[in-house]
Chains A and B, each alone.
Chain A
Amino acid sequence: MSEILIEGRNLTKEFTAGRKKKVHAVTDVSLQILQGETLGLVGESGCGKSTLGRLLIRLLKPDSGRLLVHGEDVTDLSDKEFGKYRRQLQLIFQDPYASLDPRLCVRDLIAEPLKTWHVCRTKEELTQRVLEKMEEVGVPGEYLYRYPHQFSGGQRQRIGIARALAAQPELIVCDEPVSALDVPVQNQILNLLNQLQESKGLTYLFISHDLSVVRHISDRVCVMFLGTICEIGKTQEVFQNPMHPYTRFLMNAILPPDPHRRNDQAELLSGEIPSAVNPPSGCRFHTRCPYADERCRREMPALQDAGDGHQAACHHTMN
């Protein structure tokens, strides 16, 4: 059993949207990230993946609930006290373009976090370290003085990864890092992330709405719906034996690149995602669930273990 790197206990986060309206972004979520694993986080847009990702590395503070890093409760630490963990918990985004200052060249972009986290005595030493990072992520050293707009989307994502690596983190939250890329480029980035994990013993929280990507990269998967966890477990288990109705519907919607496997007959989810401002009572999935009954409308189901850490939150758990 691996050590627990990050643990969220009963995390809840609401945002105010307009007068008196509250968005229930994450509701009472408990989750552990194990040292060295890739935990995939899937769900449709707006279900709270990014919010949960940020809560778990304390880029956002929860309204209630606790956050533990290496077993230490860091929820109430001051930013200064939390400082020793800040470097270890990094984030990369879908659109690195938005996070890369267009006025800085690659050298300065990667030097920035290096300067923040490490002592480099001389300029030469700093440039040397930048070149090392570029090599690690597969950006040729001759591009040292190029600017973000001179790179393709895939290369910009590599630069984003290099910046995260510069802090020598333990955990990287990868928030939809390949969602804007074409498949061949997406695959290059996924291969790179896998290879970096192996060579550096990194831990990932990998957020994506694409089940096939999550299936490939994750050791464990966590499925979210409207601010809550529906199902979590080892990737193989969850994909071969989904227990929550929502997980099944997500899988029915997968479109294989093969005309012999058209999903014409698969039962599709009807209706729309309910509003996070007025989430349904009881189980948040009950308005779309074909199995919903009185109890589902009344009582929010808790995660229940079916063995080997495979858990689902449903009053009518499948099989």
Chain B
Amino acid sequence: MSGKTLEIRHLNTSFFTQKGEVGAAKDICLEVRPGQIVGIVGESGCGKSVTARSVMGLVKYPGRVVSGEILLNGTRITGISKKEACSLRGSEVSMIFQEPMTSLNPVIKVGRQVEEVLLIHKKITKKEAKKEAAKILEAVGISDVASRMECYPHQLSGGLRQRVMIAMAMICSPSLLIADEPTTALDVTVEAQILRLMKKLCEAGTSILLISHNLGVIAQVCDYVYVMYAGRIVEQGETFTLFDHPAHPYTRGLLGAAKSLRSDAGLLKTIPGVVPNLLHLPAGCSFSPRCDSCMDLCRSEMPDMLPAGEKGHLTRCWRS
């Protein structure tokens, strides 16, 4: 298949609070192509989840998508009726979250929960649904499926619950899976297992938008990466290019901090200052007060995304 699985054009999503409009996602342009795992990385509060939730139509009051277009496999899902958008999303895209417990019903056995999703989306009998559910749960690496299906969510470990969520998300064979910090709440050995499972799903034909604050997770599985800071994309590029030649001072700061932890340096690298409050952003480049390469121009004008060498490598920095 050619074309783009997901395309986001100039998305703006804001929260309208008593203190004013909080621009949580600003001018986001992003694509996921078939067969790709695309990452969004950045510190907490930079707008990763809000971007994902905008695609799913899950932005909560007092927030809403203010402007921009979102296309799934070439079809616009913004500016059409809610019902139409919902049914388009239902068959094309699924999302999983950091804490699977919040999206599972605590008083229904997990087997039944999977069967119900099947019954809603496919014309099959209850008996067939049960068989199918077992097959899907096995496919996401759950052993001893028969007894696991009889468990309530709290009786399963975090890793198993996340596998159940992935199974449910994959039932309609979506072309896109959005995974928002899917391994952040899991133990390290389980995290590595789940990441391998995502790679397998991708090889089997599902594109993935993977959100994580962890550069280790991103480096492991992503083909292409977007870096966000204070509501905006500040750098994007192929994974190898971005990690080998980070162009934005913020990306360099994040990567330097993560790498110094693994070196034998006595003093660890940090980024001076703190993440700004979205209600009181500095003029010009949002990163300027913390940037070691800041010039006068940076303090007065916000840079656009500019080419940074390799094809497809862009950065929002006047110095590039």
Partner of B188, one of A154, A209, A257: A209
Task: Chain A residues near B243: list those with CB within 8 A.
Answer: 257-260
Give residues of chain B (155-193) contacting chain A, Cβ–Cβ below 8 Å: 157, 159-160, 187-189, 191-193
List the one stretch of A86-94, A127-135, A211-219, A292-300 in contact with chain B.
A211-219
List 14 A-B pairs, Cβ < 8 Å. Answer: A44-B189, A187-B257, A250-B189, A254-B216, A257-B216, A257-B255, A258-B219, A259-B219, A259-B222, A260-B243, A268-B192, A268-B193, A268-B196, A272-B160
B84 CB, min distance to chain A CBs, angstroms: 39
Q: Which chain A residue lies CB-closest to B255?
A: A257
Give residues of chain B (250-266) contacting chain A, Cβ–Cβ below 8 Å: 253-255, 257-262, 266
Give residues of chain A (250-296) contacting chain B, Cβ–Cβ below 8 Å: 250, 252-264, 266, 268-273
Is A262 touching B219 in the complex (CB atoms < 8 A)?
yes
Q: Is B213 part of the binding interface, using a Cβ–Cβ cutoff of 8 Å?
A: yes
Q: How far is the CA of A39 from the CA of B274 in the complex (A)?
A: 30
Q: Is B267 part of the binding interface, using a Cβ–Cβ cutoff of 8 Å?
A: yes
Give residues of chain A (174-226) contacting chain B, Cβ–Cβ below 8 Å: 182-188, 190-191, 194, 209-213, 216
Give 12 new A-B contacts, CB below 8 A, not counting A45-B187, A184-B269. A187-B270, A211-B188, A253-B188, A253-B189, A254-B216, A255-B195, A257-B243, A257-B262, A259-B222, A263-B220, A266-B192, A272-B160
Q: How far is the CA of A257 from the CA of B212 in the complex (A)?
A: 12
Q: How far is the CA of A275 from the CA of B55 in the complex (A)?
A: 39
Q: Known contacts A187-B269, A262-B219, A272-B160; is A257 also within 8 Å of B258 by CB?
A: yes
Is A255 touching B268 in the complex (CB atoms < 8 A)?
no
A85 CB, min distance to chain B CBs, angstroms: 31
Task: Chain B residues near A262: list those with CB within 8 A.
Answer: 219-220
- Give 6 nearest A-B pairs by CB, closest first: A255-B216, A187-B268, A257-B215, A44-B187, A182-B43, A257-B258
Is A256 touching B268 in the complex (CB atoms < 8 A)?
no
Is B219 touching A268 in the complex (CB atoms < 8 A)?
no
Task: Chain B residues near A147: list those with CB within 8 A.
Answer: none
Is B189 touching A268 in the complex (CB atoms < 8 A)?
yes
Q: Is A152 part of the binding interface, using a Cβ–Cβ cutoff of 8 Å?
A: yes
A295 CB, min distance to chain B CBs, angstroms: 24
Q: Is A249 part of the binding interface, using a Cβ–Cβ cutoff of 8 Å?
A: yes
Q: Which chain A residue lies CB-closest to B46?
A: A182
A190 CB, min distance to chain B CBs, angstroms: 6
Q: Which chain A residue lies CB-closest to B268?
A: A187
Task: Chain B residues near A258: list those with CB within 8 A.
Answer: 219, 243, 259
Give residues of chain B (198-238) contacting chain A, Cβ–Cβ below 8 Å: 213-220, 222
Is A152 touching B274 in the complex (CB atoms < 8 A)?
yes
Q: How far is the CA of A156 from the CA of B191 in the complex (A)?
A: 28
Is A190 touching B189 in the complex (CB atoms < 8 A)?
no
Is B239 touching A259 in the complex (CB atoms < 8 A)?
yes
Q: How far is the CA of A88 from the CA of B44 in the complex (A)?
A: 35
Is B192 touching A263 in the complex (CB atoms < 8 A)?
yes
Q: Which chain A residue lies CB-closest to B223?
A: A259
Q: Is B240 part of the binding interface, using a Cβ–Cβ cutoff of 8 Å?
A: yes
Q: Which chain A residue lies CB-closest to B219?
A: A259
Is A255 touching B192 in the complex (CB atoms < 8 A)?
yes
Q: Is B271 part of the binding interface, using a Cβ–Cβ cutoff of 8 Å?
A: yes
Q: How far is the CA of A258 from the CA of B270 in the complex (A)?
A: 18
Q: How far is the CA of A108 from the CA of B21 in the complex (A)?
A: 34
Task: Chain A residues near B274: list those with CB within 8 A.
Answer: 152, 154
B263 CB, min distance to chain A CBs, angstroms: 9
Q: Is B143 part of the binding interface, using a Cβ–Cβ cutoff of 8 Å?
A: yes
Partner of A191, one of B143, B157, B255, B268: B268
Q: How far is the CA of A216 from the CA of B265 in the complex (A)?
A: 9
Is B261 touching A184 in the complex (CB atoms < 8 A)?
no
A289 CB, min distance to chain B CBs, angstroms: 13
User: By CB atoms of chain B within 10 A, which of A216, A250, A260 has the most?
Assistant: A216
Q: How far is the CA of A155 from the CA of B80 in the complex (A)?
A: 45
Give residues of chain B (261-312) contacting chain A, Cβ–Cβ below 8 Å: 261-262, 266-271, 274-275
Q: Which chain A residue lies CB-closest to B187?
A: A44
Is B189 touching A183 in the complex (CB atoms < 8 A)?
no
A61 CB, min distance to chain B CBs, angstroms: 28
Q: Known contacts A213-B261, A257-B216, A262-B219; is A273 also within 8 Å of B188 by CB?
A: no
Is B268 touching A216 in the complex (CB atoms < 8 A)?
yes
Partner of B192, one of A45, A211, A253: A253
Is B262 touching A252 in the complex (CB atoms < 8 A)?
no
Task: Chain A residues near B192: list those with CB within 8 A.
Answer: 252-253, 255, 263, 266, 268
Task: Chain A residues near B222: list those with CB within 8 A.
Answer: 259
Task: Chain A residues near B270: list those with CB within 8 A.
Answer: 184-185, 187-188, 191
